[in-house]
Structure 1
């Protein structure tokens, strides 16, 4: 038999790949972000509030995958927001698009290398809790990462000690102080009746839940369900970022066989459009009032 060229299977993403993306972005913009915002379905308008923008299509950034979902513009936007430098993802990546979890969460570690301290994650989610209605905003206090529970975890494979420990604790991964601040801001905005705290569950998608699955989630104490967020929060927690998460409730998850309602992606996007101004105001005020450890505008070397 002739010799065969056996290519080893690549596990995860190499540290140099994150570094390459970060260095490319540093060479293209003078912005050095302190806050990163990941926009969920229909929520890309959060980037519109940024001043002095530099934007880059994902296709132009070394190492970045591309978003394929309607409602996700697929670009990275840098800019100033209330005196703080931010970077905003207009569109995220999902497992159901065929991306590996390493690629799904790739931007979060790039943000860490750019100097980001705080990650804001937003998503569109279905209400499982009886008291949550479409148009409500749920501050995420905890999550159930169903893919992670069966071994689909972005930290699987060799640990990158330059980012964090082998076994990171996930209790308290959503910052309590930022949730409290967001509730105060909502009261001042007069939208406190739209807000509540709750538990988010991630399922793999792209199918919406069956009635039996919805009933299971309800019995487990889940308040809202979606197809993203948990992997990004795992990576953010692993590398020491402070995390604030919110879900815009865009639909009611059907839990009864007699309920004629159903959900579709267009309806999800429409609720996002209806609540866009409120969400933009809330996030803008949160960024304005949150404390940042680093000096604003100072040069920082975040090479890991």
Structure 2
């Protein structure tokens, strides 16, 4: 069993920011990440472009230079990877954390590779691991995916994209331009209001001209190997189909948070309990950082407005150590 003063669970941008801050303040730390560096960003679509400009994605005032004002996935991977390697951050990759429990004054952390004790924990695990299921017959078929990577795969295929957010709109446009026959299934009466402003006119014009078919106020009823059954205000229709991208969003791992002992609100939002001034949860010594602070409202916290969590948390840890 290894003892580390501070365990940071999650090696995304905010976890990395916490590691940098711990290093600067002389706090013994370890970042534990279940995949590669910035695992969630690695799993984003290959052509993904951020909504935020590069300077708003910077951490610890380290300049982020991109070809355009709004960087793309590969540039972000390069940026965060360079930070980890150039600063020699202490990080264990491809090591999934199974459990964390406080016993007395120490946390006991079990991973797939080792066991640790720690005085403090920061949970910065993001929200990209668990997709929001649509819960219809056929969702388990191999033709259905909740993640989108590369448009080339869908060339010359009949593709249904479920959703109307940035991820769904990006996938629909990219796949259409690579030769897919794209149909969008949109539950609301219009494309999502938070779609990137420079992309919205593109998707609206493609739908208007008929290049991409869209059904609004629509819901999936059943998914079959060769078709979809959807319901619209006028009734029920069948659509020939080869593949389905159900891009209906993702959620934090609430089960993991609850198993640690973090209290969640009892409504659908599942807001975790924490002190906004210190980011400390209802468990002394256990802190939350990044997007998980918003529960199901995964659009509330993102890199540019949660990178401050690193300084807030480490300042509190250092102050707590000095007072004890």
Q: TM-score, normalised by structure 1?
A: 0.28
**Structure ranking higher in helix proportion:** 1
Between structure 1 and structure 2, the one with the greater Rg is: 2
Higher relative contact order (CA 8 A, sep 6+): 1
Q: TM-score, normalised by structure 2?
A: 0.27
